[in-house]
Amino acid sequence: LGGLARAGGSVLADRLLGLAAGLGISAATLALRPDALPGLPLDRLSWRGAGAGLIGAALAVALGLGLARRGRLGRKLDQATADFRRLLRSPARCAAAVALAVVAQGLVILVWLVLGRAAALPVPLATLAVAVPLVSLGATLPITLGGLGVREAVWLALLDGAGGDGGRVVAVSLLYFACTVAVGLLGGVAFTRRGAALPDRRLTPG
């Protein structure tokens, strides 16, 4: 169970850093190019409502973690987050992980750009830099398998004012999902062949 807990902590760190890096890219692009996403009604956003929603979500997460820390589940949670906490206490490693997360999210945006060009869907790079992290965030909601349907719905909502062809938007989104599945299968095969031989590199502070 210790190995499974550490693997869970690694996945948790990967997801959190990826989402943070992606949303950072989205926010920075939107600050530099407010017109990058015409479908986003910035003038009609209720910042008080958004702030209240974020606070409510944070309280819900805190309550859930507080309840989860009790008993055996709490011990599992502590094991799963131990490496992540050590990572946060190591500024050099944390900075390297954040930099890699930004690069990884940038590559994801480039993948969407290439797929869009291949499907004759000329969405500007600035629009993708804002939209892709938001789409990825929506796809993480535990509603459907692999975010199917949710990802496409978020794309259609975000590109509503950008003049995109809805059918091609959905086609590109499904093509991206197919690519992630294919790459995941290749990675799974490689891991089953060599994963057991990977060295155990435990994080230490410093």
Q: Would you state the pLDDT for residue 47?
A: 43
Cβ-contact 80, 6 below 8 angstroms: yes
d(CA 93, CA 114): 31
Whether the pLDDT of residue 79 is over 70: the answer is: no
Residues 6+ apart with CB under 8 A from 42: 34
In this prediction, residue 206 has a pLDDT band, given cuts at 50, 70 and 90, of: very low
pTM score of the predicted model: 0.70
d(CA 191, CA 202): 19
**E runs forming strands in 112-194:** none
Residues 6+ apart with CB under 8 A from 137: 19, 22, 23
Q: Would you state the pLDDT for residue 15?
A: 79
d(CA 186, CA 60): 37
User: Chain-centre distance of CA 13, in angstroms?
Assistant: 11
Instruction: Tell me the two tokens of residue 134.
Output: 């938001």
151-203 pLDDT, tens digit per residue, is 888 888 887 655 567 788 888 899 999 988 888 888 888 878 776 555 555 55
Q: Would you state the pLDDT for residue 111?
A: 93
Cβ-contact 109, 28 below 8 angstroms: no
For the ranges 27-31, 59-63, 124-128, 191-195, the lowest mean pLDDT is seen at 59-63
* Amino acid, single-letter form, for residue 158: L
Q: Would you state the pLDDT for residue 106?
A: 93
96-109 pLDDT, tens digit per residue, is 888 999 999 999 99
1-41 pLDDT, tens digit per residue, is 455 556 666 777 777 788 888 889 988 988 888 888 765 55
Instruction: Tell me the two tokens of residue 18.
Output: 């990826």
Instruction: Tell me the two tokens of residue 24.
Output: 């950072």
Whether the pLDDT of residue 43 is over 50: the answer is: no
Cβ-contact 155, 173 below 8 angstroms: yes
Enumerate long-range contacts of 111-115, CB under 8 Å, 24 or more apart. Answer: 111/176, 111/179, 112/172, 112/176, 115/172, 115/175, 115/176, 115/179
Q: What are phi and psi of 157, to 5 degrees?
A: -70, -40
Cβ-contact 37, 127 below 8 angstroms: yes
